[in-house]
Homo-oligomer: A and B are copies of this chain.
């Protein structure tokens, strides 16, 4: 169960598992105090050493990854899952590169901001500090092991990583490089612990040890995230759905509207920031919808339409096989597929109301030339990312300049939208006094 005994734990009994998880949690908690004190130089040293080790051990990583791939094929894992599981020279280089990018990011820890002198004489400010211990639970992609370790390390947090059982050998191979890098920089081995158990009960323990784990970040399918949210006894940084909207306003420019809808829907289908619903102002529908629909249909995108849309598009030479009437359920749906729900709305008010009702509060965009409507959309749409005249696909840590992201949050608490280093920290109050006491 500990990092040093990677493969010994699959057969251990329930009580023993609980005890081992507590031991591991206690080690993480102890390491977190050391990490919180670690200098930027030492943390960057570790990150660069991990990158170098991953590059040096590329062959070994591919060998271990091949074991996972063989097992995955023999258990009949679906091809998209196998694809996510696969490492290559290129993806190993990308992992190493990612570690170096995180090393190059500014260290958020220790930053003091908002200092103000008060009438009493004290100076009050806020210091950014690590959260403590982060638990990350993810599925098949082994690169998350390196990415998540890097972000936690740089933000001064200890972490416990629990990857998918199908990636066990790949993750343990990556963990060897992580431990080597930590050791080279003189940081404790328990700063990053990669669980070697495939026992699902380990997750249940991990999310229910508030004394050892401060926050859980689940990355994966909705089922995983729902289960973790239900069982967690600590805060969870998460998003369940990405039901993202593009709204074409009365004054939307036709060229922009087309480009943004096509990009938001079709650049990648399986991602959380892809558009799943298109809303069009009634006054602009005749001008904009037919051309957009023809282009989407030409790419094989099925359109689930409101009655008005259906009527309009049936007269517009759109492939009729791709036109379907929308049901109420369609407005809630995250298709992650070449399907788009389309609704004609009366205007900005109904668009905002629709989005605030059906959206998963992930990312929603307006295409407009009206400053007033742009500002209303920005203020009133209650989502973690709200965009004017840009594709929903930009909702991403790299695109926002966070350098990297540990996940995306659709909650309003603590961290919202793409979560980078800052979301892995909190701010405590610091008071600089000169012997001041409080008056009567």
Q: Which residues of B sit under 8 angstroms from A412, Cβ to Cβ?
A: 131-132, 214, 426
A394 touches B438 (CB 8 A): yes
A80 at the interface (CB under 8 A from B): no
Q: Which residues of B sit under 8 angstroms from A253, Cβ to Cβ?
A: 435
Say whether, besides A416-B426, A438-B267, A401 and B116 are in contact (CB < 8 Å). yes
Pick the contact of A413 from B122, B378, B399, B426 — CB < 8 Å? B426
Interface size class of A (residues with CB under 8 A): 35 or more
A434 at the interface (CB under 8 A from B): yes
Q: Which residues of B sit under 8 angstroms from A430, Cβ to Cβ?
A: 378, 385-388
Q: Which residues of B sit under 8 angstroms from A382, Cβ to Cβ?
A: 36, 129, 132, 428
A231 at the interface (CB under 8 A from B): no
> Which B residue's beta carbon lies closest to that of A409?
B426
A87 at the interface (CB under 8 A from B): no
A418 at the interface (CB under 8 A from B): yes
A260 at the interface (CB under 8 A from B): yes
Say whether, besides A124-B400, A413-B414, A388 and B431 are in contact (CB < 8 Å). yes
The digit string for A373-397, where 1 denotes a CB below 8 A from any CB of B, is 0000011101111111111011100
Q: Which residues of B sit under 8 angstroms from A264, Cβ to Cβ?
A: 437
Say whether, besides A116-B401, A267-B440, A122 and B390 are in contact (CB < 8 Å). yes
Q: What's the nearest-Cβ distance from chain B to residue A423, in Å?
A: 10
B390 touches A356 (CB 8 A): no
> Which B residue's beta carbon lies closest to that of A109?
B379
Chain A interface main SS type? mixed
> Which B residue's beta carbon lies closest to that of A437?
B263
Q: What's the nearest-Cβ distance from chain B to residue A406, in Å?
A: 15
B215 touches A390 (CB 8 A): no
> Which B residue's beta carbon lies closest to that of A374?
B432
A260 touches B437 (CB 8 A): yes
Q: Which residues of B sit under 8 angstroms from A36, Cβ to Cβ?
A: 379-380, 382
A242 at the interface (CB under 8 A from B): no
Q: Which residues of B sit under 8 angstroms from A122, Cβ to Cβ?
A: 387, 390, 394, 399
Q: Which residues of B sit under 8 angstroms from A259, Cβ to Cβ?
A: 435, 437
Q: Which residues of B sit under 8 angstroms from A255, Cβ to Cβ?
A: 435
Q: Which residues of B sit under 8 angstroms from A384, Cβ to Cβ?
A: 428-429
Q: What's the nearest-Cβ distance from chain B to residue A361, in Å?
A: 9
Q: Which residues of B sit under 8 angstroms from A432, Cβ to Cβ?
A: 388-390
Q: Which residues of B sit under 8 angstroms from A436, Cβ to Cβ?
A: 389-391, 394
A127 at the interface (CB under 8 A from B): yes
A427 at the interface (CB under 8 A from B): yes
Chain A residues numbered 2-20 whose CB sits less than 8 Å from any CB in chain B: none
- Listed by A's residue number, 24 A-B pairs whose Cβ atoms lie within 8 Å are A36-B379, A122-B394, A124-B399, A124-B400, A131-B412, A132-B382, A235-B413, A253-B435, A260-B437, A262-B437, A264-B437, A267-B438, A385-B429, A385-B431, A386-B430, A390-B433, A390-B437, A393-B437, A399-B438, A400-B429, A412-B426, A416-B429, A417-B428, A418-B429
Q: Which 6 A-B pairs have CB atoms at the shortest separation, nearest pair first?
A: A390-B433, A263-B437, A256-B435, A393-B438, A387-B431, A389-B433
